[in-house]
Structure 1
Amino acid sequence: MKRYCQTLDLYDDKELIAAYVEEHAHVWEEVKAGIREVGILDMQIYIHGNRLFMIMDTTDEFDMERDYARLATLPRQAEWEAHMAKYQKAAPGQAANEKWKLMERIFKL
């Protein structure tokens, strides 16, 4: 299994942040199915202020570039990304792998 940790900032607006959190309580079923289909076994998003931290556990075969690109073509994924864009501090039209910045592990116990 592979693990990826990524970060993304939201606009620093309490109402937008609350709405973003609420949206993630009801992620569309097609989006969750697509995430699983490309080899993501577990995905968790944490929040502190307007900073997001995502942990993804994937299959050993998962390739970030190839499989994120494939994910973008699956049902409702592009619609979900466009829907979430109003909350995220990112350039318009960026794909998920461009918005979410891969983090480098600097410590492991």
Structure 2
Amino acid sequence: MTEYKRYCKTLTLKNDPELIEAYKKVHAPGAIWPEITKGMKEVGILDMEIYILGNQLFMIMDTIVDFDHDLAMHDLAKKPRQSEWEAYVSKFQNTSEDASADEKWQLMERIYKMD
């Protein structure tokens, strides 16, 4: 079994059905700017999935074992087009245009794991 760290995060979108549908299109296969995916991989993010219910997002982020979340998010913010991407998607999110991904996506606490 491959070893990795898993992080779960949440973010709230603006409660507007048109904006929510547009946000889904922005995240459709092939729609994410290639620099964004490349930057995430460079900081140690191995895989990421985002789920939605209403206007609530839930992210599962799998990373390398020695992943340092704070350092990686700091480094990610400096990657090419990252701040441009965050400003672009902020129009869908309950957040400010200049917020970083780390400021937007809140880490969740795991309270249960099936044995």
TM-score of Structure 1 vs Structure 2, range by shorter chain? over 0.9
Cα shift at 1:11: 0.2
Aligned-residue Cα RMSD (Å) equals 0.8
How far apart in 1 are the matches of 2:91 and 2:48? 21
Give TM-score, length-normalised by structure 2: 0.92
How far apart in 1 are the matches of 2:81 and 2:99? 16
Judge conservation of contact 2:86–2:97 (CA < 8 Å) in 1. Answer: no
Match status 1:36 vs 2:41: yes
Provide Cα deviations, 1:36-58, integer angstroms capped at 9, x if missing partner.
00000000000000000000000
Could you say which residue in structure 2 is the equivalent of 1:15?
18
Give TM-score, length-normalised by structure 1: 0.97
> 1:82/1:91 Cα in 2 relative to 1: closer, same or farther (>3 Å)?
closer
- Which of 62, 66, 76 is residue 71 of structure 2 equivalent to? 66
Provide Cα deviations, 1:10-38, integer angstroms capped at 9, x if missing partner.
00000000000000110011110001000
How far apart in 1 are the matches of 2:18 and 2:46? 31
Secondary structure of 2:39's match? helix
Cα shift at 1:91: 3.4
> 1:92/1:30 Cα in 2 relative to 1: closer, same or farther (>3 Å)?
closer
Unmatched tracts of structure 2, length 5 or more: none
- Which of 6, 22, 27 is residue 24 of structure 1 equivalent to? 27
Worse-matched range after superposition: 84-93 or 99-108: 84-93
- Which residue type is aligned with residue 76 of structure 1? R
Alignment identity in percent? 55
Judge conservation of contact 2:46–2:64 (CA < 8 Å) in 1. Answer: yes
**Alignment length, in residue pairs?**
109
Judge conservation of contact 2:91–2:97 (CA < 8 Å) in 1. Answer: no
Higher helix share: 1
Could you say which residue in structure 2 is the equivalent of 1:3?
6
How far apart in 2 are the matches of 1:97 and 1:60? 19
How far apart in 2 are the matches of 1:74 and 1:94? 15
- Which residue type is aligned with residue 10 of structure 1? L
